[in-house]
Structure 1
Amino acid sequence: MRVLKVFLGLFFINLTLFAQTDANPAVWSHEVHKLSDTEYELVFKGKIMDGWHVYSQFTAEGGSLPSEFTFEKAGEDYELIGSTTESETIKEYSDVFEVEETFFKKEAIFTQKIKLIKPDVRQISVNLFYQICKEVCIPKDEVFEISLDGSAFVGDTKTLDDRSVALGESLKLDLKNKELLNQGGLVDSEGKSNLWMIFGLGFLGGLIALLTPCVFPMIPLTVSFFTKQSQNKSKGIGNAVLYGFFIVLIYFLLSLPFHLFNSVDSQILNTIATNIWLNVLFFVIFVFFAFSFFGYYELTLPSSWANKMDSASSKVGGGLGIFFMALTLAIVSFSCTGPILGGLLGSTTLAEGNVATNLTMGMVGFGLALALPFALFAMFPAWLHSLPKSGGWMTTVKVVLGFLELALAFKFLSNADLVGNWGVFKREIFIGVWVVLFILMTLYLFGVFRFPHDGPRKNLSPARKMVGLLSFAFSVYLILGLFHVTDLKLLSGFPPPSFYSVVETESDCPLGLDCFKDFEEGVAYAKEVNKPILLDFTGWACVNCRKMEENVWSDASVYPILKDEYVLISLYVDDRKELPEGEKFDFKFDSGRIKSIENIGQKWGTFQTVNFNAASQPYYVLMTPDLEILNDAVQYVDVETYQKWLKSGLEKHQLSMNK
């Protein structure tokens, strides 16, 4: 266990080297107290987000990194009086580093007294290096530019021009009843069920991976190794279970880097899911994966990796040796599991919510499905006789996966087209491509054509015919959707929205509704007609936004309310259209961080974060034209909840009008 603790500790430390963030879970400020003509007291305060903690200057060696102040020109312009003191800290034993660590929660306050050597010094710079941790630890630098006499600091720091200051201030709303936004907790019926869906997808992916040529033959070989090499049956079962546990652990560890980026950047989901060139890259990667499944080439990690892991498992032995055996399996099976894991990554990226948590759930599900057979067959070795023999059916599984990878690839290309407003890959074209893919898959399954790695032609198995019929039925369903015979609700959120069509539509808003895509214009119209506002933070590549529009907004009990009773303002936080030069500006957050606002999505994403302390979509807010919040905010909910929420907003708006 000690080896495992050290391994995890090193893993976390290495993760910190990649920390790059636009948002800081600790917001710092400073104060200056004049004690005499030459003596001052400097106070540095950090407000720490819930769940995070910052380490003390005096935390134990061998653990996490301590906070450290660097006072520029100390000893030259001024001298330090005593050491830097701290506010109250918390001590807690770390199982990873096996030391007692000292840290702050919620607030950290540091105090340092100085005495001027040069009486004319009026400005000093102080750098604070600290480590802030939650699920991962991130090293940060905070620079304090301190004016001792209250004058503006003159230095190399970036300053905002008057236009940027004015445009930045215009983003901030004077909201009334803002406390209502989360009075009942953010309503999101997707939350936990979405996590279990991702876990289920990961588990299904693991089960499919078991059926591939890279993994399936390993089951009887590995189980036989554990049962025959162990001194007794219980020992063999224990080793096999430990082997399975390490498989799950390895796939869990693969998801940890995503927690680093997701937990420190409130816009990480949008960055991943809506970046044009990242989506194009995903498209290329998935096409590459698909053709590897078609048998045109094989994806493998360097064989030296597997050899080293295999050698390590033989030399070390015991529990650590079994860990290296599990790692060897993960490496040698990559040619089959890699594309499936890529599909899992794509699915979690497209799903709404915490992308890192989604991926962890998916990875754990995947690892669990891979690990279960090794433990179960070790407990019940007689079951091995019931396993089907390896054969050409595994090649068929890979080809079917190849077609599914291609279908997912075109979803990423569609995202890039939507976000980039290229106007090329519209709804009908997307559906048409899928029709072609699933017809080709149907023809393959019925033996009309073959791929390079297919074996000799044989009679089709009942299972292959069944999958072929399902593929054909799905193709027909897509064709009916292409010609608007059905609304494709089973695919809700996957194809581009209905208004993104090759056919001219009267409205570029969901379901033909009237909407505004600029907040000020929408508010002005709401004042004119004296109607409440439905503020809709959405995205072109937001799957759950499309699901809400196609499944909830379209409902007969909801649509009339949206159409007749509310002014809809839809703000697309992933719109990459550049703002006119005169509307570009730099925005300064309370933390001091300056962000360049150069496109529409950056403007509305910052607008959402600053005013509503939220970064996910869909995100719905009800307010009066005078910016009075009417109800708590909601996200992905069912028809009944959404209808009640809208009606409640109307009732409260009526009451506010009667006051």
Structure 2
Amino acid sequence: MRKKLFTFLLFWTIGILTAFAQVENPATWSYSEKSLGNGEYELTLKAELKPGWTIYSMYTPEGGPMQTSLNFEAAGKGIELLGKATENEPHKEYDPIFEVDVWHFAGEFVITQKIKVTDPALTSVKGTLEYQVCQEGQCVMFDEEFTIPLKGAGNVVEKTAEVPSGDLQASDTQKDESLWMFFWLAFVAGLAAVVMPCVFPMIPMTVSFFMHGDSNKAKAKAKALFFSFSIIAIYTVLGLIISVVLGPDFINWLSTNWVPNVFFFIIFMIFAASFFGAFEIVLPSWLVNKSDKQADKGGYIGAFFMAFTLVLVSFSCTAPIVGTVLVEAARGSVLRPVIGMLGFSLAVALPFGFFAFFPSKLGNLPKSGGWLNSVKVVLGFIEVALGFKFLMVADQTYHWGLLDREVYIAIWVAVFTLQGLYLMGKLKFRNDSDLQYIGVTRLAFIIATFAFVIYLIPGMFGAPLKALAGYFPPQETIDFDINRIVRDNAKEIMKSGVALGNPAAVSRNQEACESPKYADFLHLPHGIDGYFDYEQALKCARAQNKPLFIAFTGHGCVNCREMEQSVWSDPRILDMLRNDYVVVALYVDDKKTLPENEWYISDYDGKKKKTLGKKNADFQIKYFNSNAQPNYILLDSHVEGKDLEKYMLMPARGYDLNRDAFYNFLKEGLEKFKQRNQ
């Protein structure tokens, strides 16, 4: 008895503290403007976040958490937006729940938007920010209205906020981690470039030139090192030029618009064709010859131009790899092209510097031969596979329906099957040598390739393929999902059996339990039957004499997806949700516009609610004093009046991956429902 009383008091105390914590906004915004002249302004909106909280980027990829949304009241009617809004560098990491890369900020989130005032009478800019902030265990949505007076440079409208320096340092650390990861990926790409037919044979030739061209060995080594650093400088300057020319506005456009994504897809296919030997990407011969003449001058100037000549001569092999790095770099921040080229060039220059210091090691290098062209061709297959990712982004964003999940996976299966056959010598391209036998290294690559193909095949029939989920379209786009078919058939059989046993009861339930609204675009996990409208669900629950399980959730709620995958999937919990409760999922971030006759002014904040998400969020705040997700309510279906909290069967439950605790939560709620309505 004491244990139960203690547990009740603990849950009650946590519930009260959580309710009070939820009304506080962990993101404190400040606003400033700077006059650029000619009626143009640069607006800065900065959020300072409390420790442990994160906020999501405006450009988080499709299918991820709720993006931050910035809207201006006078856009097109008094101000003109100059380009897209830019952000400070987000932390990017793959999220297995959403199966995409998630972009988020900790500590500080800064949005910059340039505008041009077209109405001379306009003295301020008004707008709204819609965003989601999350910490371990909960996510909360907010609307932020702002007004920024246009009084010239230095004017700041600010809300008080103090952010611990450690939180800002955490943000900087996340930024560094993101750039470091890209640096190492570019470094690996550089290593791949080293074994290209245009680069690899030049290593011993170039090192020998430096070692035998000067009797002073120390001076020769110094020139060789300068040659290596020159390679790094040339490629890094290329990245710097890309950053300066494009700028942050253009880079954001590259990340979000379908036009560059389709363009990049075409570019990747051209790169692949070049690797397959269809043609060579070459520079004008006069440019190469001119650089080569400068290299003959000797000294450090000659070493620099020899490096420049190497870059130009190897262009036909390295251009597709350099292009791939730059394409990926341009889809991030302005620093990424510089970081990418630094990592790439360091890997290319490394063998030249190494063998200049240890020329005796040159004999250990494998001899040039047909294997170099095989490396090119294998990279060509990889370019084809990766290129389809850009087309997938455009297809998913604009709902063209070209690349459903099974079609996309089928393309990858075909590509890597052909790669395996090529490695076996069953396919031969124009520049390939005859394959006399299969070596151990090649055999290892053959086994790995076909193992990968076998791993992919079940994905065409519904397997999640979680290791590669970020590269594939969402699971919902698959047409032939065996798991879904089996689940749906089982439901039909169960319904038929119930109908045969008690047709009158089934008829009554069908009248009360209508087809769920919004089921054409909203779905419950694990094949659970349920509703997406509270009134519909309540009516059905009363007819079946069952309690109501309300899940306040969101499309962009990471913790909600994790609860559904890790906790709801427990067989005991699934059985109770399917048989003992009527489930209703209320999405608080859905943008579905309600019919105009369903619009209303909220008693809570006095704002007009026009969308399904706004309606559900208002319902949660008004009746359950909470605005965090996930939030799970067990409600007696025989409610009367509007005081819903007194009909709650258990204290509300949020994010908690303890399956046993969640099962007990459902079980005790069901027992209390039966006691109340005995």
Q: How far apart are residue 378 of structure 1 and its match?
A: 0.5
554 and 287 in structure 1: CA distance in 2 versus 1, 3 angstrom threshold: farther
Question: Separation in 2 of the partners of 1:221 and 1:329?
Answer: 11
Report what 1:332 is aligned to.
Answer: 313
Report what 1:397 is aligned to.
Answer: 375
Residue 460 (structure 2) pairs with residue 487 (structure 1)? no
- Overall identity of the aligned pairs, in %: 36
Q: How far apart are residue 404 of structure 1 and its match?
A: 0.2
Q: How far apart are residue 533 of structure 1 and its match?
A: 7.0
Question: Separation in 1 of the partners of 2:274 and 2:223?
Answer: 34
375 and 565 in structure 1: CA distance in 2 versus 1, 3 angstrom threshold: farther
Are 2:41 and 2:116, in contact at CA under 8 Å, matched by a contact in 1? no
Are 1:215 and 1:333, in contact at CA under 8 Å, matched by a contact in 2? yes
Residue 344 (structure 2) pairs with residue 366 (structure 1)? yes
513 and 274 in structure 1: CA distance in 2 versus 1, 3 angstrom threshold: farther
Q: How far apart are residue 219 of structure 1 and its match?
A: 0.4
Q: How far apart are residue 524 of structure 1 and its match?
A: 13
Task: Say what the alpha-carbon RMSD is for the aligned residues.
Answer: 5.4
Within-5 A mapping of 1:221-240 = 221-240=205-224
Are 2:190 and 2:346, in contact at CA under 8 Å, matched by a contact in 1? yes
Report what 2:398 is aligned to.
Answer: 420
Report what 1:28 is aligned to.
Answer: 34
Q: How far apart are residue 522 of structure 1 and its match?
A: 11
Report what 1:109 is aligned to.
Answer: none
Question: Separation in 2 of the partners of 1:44 and 1:437?
Answer: 51
Report what 2:365 is aligned to.
Answer: 387
Are 2:41 and 2:114, in contact at CA under 8 Å, matched by a contact in 1? no
Q: Deviations over 1:542-595 (max 9, x none)?
A: xxxxxx79995764159899x9898545579xxxx9x9xx9xxxxxxxxxxxxx
Are 1:531 and 1:625, in contact at CA under 8 Å, matched by a contact in 2? no
Question: Separation in 1 of the partners of 2:277 and 2:525?
Answer: 45
243 and 415 in structure 1: CA distance in 2 versus 1, 3 angstrom threshold: same
Q: How far apart are residue 293 of structure 1 and its match?
A: 0.8
Report what 2:288 is aligned to.
Answer: 306
Aligned length: 439
Q: Provide TM-score, normalisation by structure 2.
A: 0.53
Which among 414, 422, 442 is matched to residue 444 of structure 1? 422
Rg: which structure is higher?
Answer: 2
Q: Provide TM-score, normalisation by structure 1.
A: 0.55
Are 2:239 and 2:340, in contact at CA under 8 Å, matched by a contact in 1? no
Q: How far apart are residue 329 of structure 1 and its match?
A: 1.3
Question: Separation in 2 of the partners of 1:532 and 1:180?
Answer: 33
DSSP-derived class of the 1:254 partner: helix
Q: How far apart are residue 296 of structure 1 and its match?
A: 1.7
Are 2:42 and 2:114, in contact at CA under 8 Å, matched by a contact in 1? no
Report what 2:229 is aligned to.
Answer: 245
Which among 432, 435, 438 is matched to residue 454 of structure 1? 432
Report what 2:449 is aligned to.
Answer: 471
Residue 186 (structure 2) pairs with residue 206 (structure 1)? no
Question: Separation in 2 of the partners of 1:303 and 1:197?
Answer: 37
Q: How far apart are residue 194 of structure 1 and its match?
A: 3.5
Q: How far apart are residue 414 of structure 1 and its match?
A: 1.3
DSSP-derived class of the 1:493 partner: helix
Question: Separation in 2 of the partners of 1:569 and 1:399?
Answer: 49
Report what 1:290 is aligned to.
Answer: 272
Question: Separation in 2 of the partners of 1:261 and 1:569?
Answer: 41
Question: Separation in 2 of the partners of 1:207 and 1:361?
Answer: 16
Are 2:621 and 2:627, in contact at CA under 8 Å, matched by a contact in 1? no
Question: Separation in 2 of the partners of 1:244 and 1:482?
Answer: 47
Residue 410 (structure 2) pairs with residue 429 (structure 1)? no
Which structure would you say has the larger RCO, counting Cα contacts within 8 Å and 6 or more residues apart? 1
45 and 188 in structure 1: CA distance in 2 versus 1, 3 angstrom threshold: closer
Are 2:189 and 2:344, in contact at CA under 8 Å, matched by a contact in 1? yes
Within-5 A mapping of 1:585-600 = none
DSSP-derived class of the 1:27 partner: strand
257 and 466 in structure 1: CA distance in 2 versus 1, 3 angstrom threshold: same
Are 1:558 and 1:643, in contact at CA under 8 Å, matched by a contact in 2? no
144 and 434 in structure 1: CA distance in 2 versus 1, 3 angstrom threshold: closer
Question: Separation in 2 of the partners of 1:551 and 1:532?
Answer: 12
Question: Separation in 1 of the partners of 2:551 and 2:427?
Answer: 59
Which among 322, 325, 339 is matched to residue 303 of structure 2? 322
Structure 1: tracts of 5 or more residues without a match: 1-24, 32-42, 51-133, 146-151, 515-520, 539-547, 583-603, 605-620, 632-641, 647-659
Aligned AA for 2:222?
G
Structure 2: tracts of 5 or more residues without a match: 1-30, 47-87, 90-112, 131-141, 147-157, 485-518, 537-547, 578-582, 597-610, 612-616, 630-653, 659-678
Are 1:511 and 1:549, in contact at CA under 8 Å, matched by a contact in 2? no
Q: Deviations over 1:396-438 (max 9, x none)?
A: 1011001001001111121121122101211110001000111
DSSP-derived class of the 1:414 partner: helix
Are 2:405 and 2:475, in contact at CA under 8 Å, matched by a contact in 1? yes
Question: Separation in 2 of the partners of 1:180 and 1:569?
Answer: 28
Report what 2:475 is aligned to.
Answer: 498
Are 2:183 and 2:342, in contact at CA under 8 Å, matched by a contact in 1? yes
Are 1:426 and 1:500, in contact at CA under 8 Å, matched by a contact in 2? yes
Are 1:427 and 1:498, in contact at CA under 8 Å, matched by a contact in 2? yes
Aligned AA for 1:556?
S
Question: Separation in 2 of the partners of 1:179 and 1:558?
Answer: 41
Question: Separation in 2 of the partners of 1:524 and 1:440?
Answer: 55
Q: How far apart are residue 523 of structure 1 and its match?
A: 13
Q: How far apart are residue 368 of structure 1 and its match?
A: 0.8
Question: Separation in 2 of the partners of 1:234 and 1:49?
Answer: 56
DSSP-derived class of the 2:33 partner: strand
Question: Separation in 2 of the partners of 1:237 and 1:554?
Answer: 61
DSSP-derived class of the 2:34 partner: strand
Are 1:427 and 1:501, in contact at CA under 8 Å, matched by a contact in 2? yes
Aligned AA for 1:427?
R
Are 2:552 and 2:587, in contact at CA under 8 Å, matched by a contact in 1? yes
DSSP-derived class of the 2:200 partner: coil
Question: Separation in 1 of the partners of 2:441 and 2:33?
Answer: 59
DSSP-derived class of the 1:215 partner: coil
Question: Separation in 1 of the partners of 2:194 and 2:378?
Answer: 14
Report what 2:385 is aligned to.
Answer: 407
Are 1:202 and 1:344, in contact at CA under 8 Å, matched by a contact in 2? yes
443 and 533 in structure 1: CA distance in 2 versus 1, 3 angstrom threshold: same
Report what 1:195 is aligned to.
Answer: 179
Aligned AA for 2:467?
L
Report what 1:344 is aligned to.
Answer: 325
Q: Deviations over 1:231-267 (max 9, x none)?
A: 41111111111111121122222222443477643x8
Are 2:34 and 2:41, in contact at CA under 8 Å, matched by a contact in 1? yes
Are 2:456 and 2:465, in contact at CA under 8 Å, matched by a contact in 1? yes
Q: Deviations over 1:582-615 (max 9, x none)?
A: 9xxxxxxxxxxxxxxxxxxxxx9xxxxxxxxxxx
Q: How far apart are residue 193 of structure 1 and its match?
A: 3.8
Report what 2:506 is aligned to.
Answer: none
DSSP-derived class of the 1:440 partner: helix
Are 1:207 and 1:369, in contact at CA under 8 Å, matched by a contact in 2? yes
434 and 531 in structure 1: CA distance in 2 versus 1, 3 angstrom threshold: same
355 and 45 in structure 1: CA distance in 2 versus 1, 3 angstrom threshold: closer
DSSP-derived class of the 1:450 partner: coil
Q: How far apart are residue 344 of structure 1 and its match?
A: 2.2
Question: Separation in 1 of the partners of 2:452 and 2:279?
Answer: 29
DSSP-derived class of the 1:364 partner: helix
Q: Deviations over 1:323-375 (max 9, x none)?
A: 2222221111111111112222344466xxx4333333332221111111111
